[in-house]
Amino acid sequence: MVHYTNKQVLFLNYPTGFPVVGEHLGLQTTEIDPVLEDNDILLRNLYVSADPYLRGRMRNVHDSYVPSFVLGKPFSSGGVSEVIQSRNPKFPVGAIVVGETNWEEYSHVTGARVAALGLQVVEGGARDSKIPLRYWVGALGMPSKTAYYSLKIIGQPKKGETIYISAASGAVGQIVGQLARLQGLRVIGSAGSDEKVDFLLNELKFDAAFNYKKGNILENLRRYAPKGIDIYFDNVGGEQLEAALEVMNLYGRVISCGAISVYNGQVPYGVRNLHHLIAKRITIRGFIVSDFEKQESANFRREVSEYFLNGDIVYKEDIVDLDDAPNAFVGLLKGERFGKVVIHIADP
């Protein structure tokens, strides 16, 4: 029996507005002496993903598409881990696994929970790949799948069309923009700081980008999308959606991916121009990534891995240690982080 010190990020209380570190989430260190039964495994966690949708799991409701966190228990999200003890023949010691992972150093997963967490061994010698292991929680994980699946299936992009992306420097937005650019679209993005706008223009090679906090969103869209927009990738909802509908072309598509503008208890913005849906035959569609997993995951892995290996896509990460995870998560919700937030727990 081996003894472990286990640092965790715990869910402490239901927030109404932005969560506060120490009040709604916080660090705790415990000691564990795991005893494995048949089919159990012990994971040494390496990376977990911090994403805005996790705010929706901090609610005392259970009607949503993802289960809420449990008070007093750790946060969890997509992660990558190493098996360090095993009584499960499918998960040998040394294997690298991905799936739903607690925000903690070590996780004792019972055989019964392995499937529920979607844990899978990464095939093909993940450790030796040119693709860093932490990409499994971001660049090749849920956020990029979200981008790829929804752009393809809901967006149906065609060469020469124009796409507008809000929160474009985030985990999902940066992939959407680069995939669209590679398919010959005119790509316009907005973000919340001039530094992010520079990144969109200079690193991601967007055709245009603007700071949504400066000037009028609709005027900026009219300026940068003089031919209108065909696809709006909506990470925020509210006022940005309204502006996008205003300049949308016939048969426009809105990929409804996020509504961060209402996640933290702000008064929801009322969208007043939905009549454009009829006149312009617009489709707005919400989704979650698992809807398209079966249909598209193989395509995703093949295409996007190749883009990364060829250098066709770059990916900005914002890597923080577990000690800083609570503050980084709150900062993410406030739009203060820059790039995909990845929580580093241990080195591979």
Count CA atoms closer than 13 A to 271's CA, side-chain side.
19
Whole-angstrom Cα Rg for the chain: 21
CB of 236 vs a second copy, minimal distance in Å: 10
Comparing CA positions, the residue from 235, 286, 263, 234 lying closest to residue 333 is 263
Q: Can residue 281 be called a binding residue for a second copy (CB under 8 A)?
A: yes
Q: Please state whether 142 falls in left (phi above 0), alpha (psi between -120 and 50) or beta.
A: alpha
Q: Is the dihedral of CA 318, 332, 107, 31 positive or negative?
A: positive
Q: Which stretch binds a second copy (CB under 8 A): 73-81, 106-114, 271-279, 335-343?
A: 271-279
Q: How far is 302 from 298, CA to CA, in rounded Å?
A: 6
Interface residue with a second copy, options 127, 223, 285, 302 (CB under 8 A)? 285
Contact characters 11-50, a second copy, x per CB under 8 A? ----------------------------------------
Query: Which C-beta is closer to a second copy: that of 278 or that of 298?
Result: 278
- Closest contact distance (angstroms) between CB of 280 and a second copy is 7
> Of the listed pieces 13-21, 76-84, 185-193, 266-274, which binds a second copy according to CB under 8 A?
266-274
- Pick from 10, 19, 79: nearest CA to 44: 79
Please select the residue that binds a second copy; options are 185, 200, 257, 345, rule is CB under 8 A: 257
Among 74, 237, 326, 331, binds a second copy (CB under 8 A): 237
Kindly tell me which of 293 and 324 has the beta carbon lying closer to a second copy.
293
Closest distance between a second copy and the C-beta of residue 286, in Å? Answer: 3
56 in contact with a second copy (CB under 8 A): yes
Closest CA to 96 of 112, 79, 113: 79
SS3 167: coil
Q: How far apart are CA 179 and CA 177, in angstroms?
A: 6
Specify the residue, 56 or 111, whose C-beta has the smaller distance to a second copy. 56
Among 283, 295, 299, 327, binds a second copy (CB under 8 A): 283
Q: How far apart are CA 348 and CA 346, in angstroms?
A: 6
Q: Kindly give, in sequence order, each residue whose CB lies less than 8 Å from that of residue 305, ignoring residues fewer than 6 positions away.
A: 131, 140
Interface region with a second copy, contact rule CB under 8 A, candidates 118-126, 130-138, 213-221, 252-260: 252-260
Task: For the CB of residue 144, give the shortest distance to a second copy in the complex, in Å.
Answer: 18
Q: What residues numbered 84-113 form the site for a second copy, per CB under 8 A?
A: none
Whichever of 14 and 269 has its CB closer to a second copy, that residue is: 269
Q: Where are the beta strands (DSSP E) in 282-334?
A: 283-286, 317-321
Of residues 241, 247, 325, 345, which one binds a second copy by CB under 8 A? 241
User: Residue 1 or residue 278: which is nearer to a second copy going by CB?
Assistant: 278
272 versus 294: smaller Cβ distance to a second copy: 272
CA distance 251 to 230: 7
Q: How many CB atoms lie within 10 A of CB 200?
A: 25
Distance from first CA to last CA of the chain, Å, rounded?
A: 23
Q: Is 275 in the site for a second copy (CB under 8 A)?
A: yes
Q: Which residues bind a second copy (CB under 8 A)?
A: 56, 64-65, 237, 241, 250, 256-259, 262, 268-288, 291
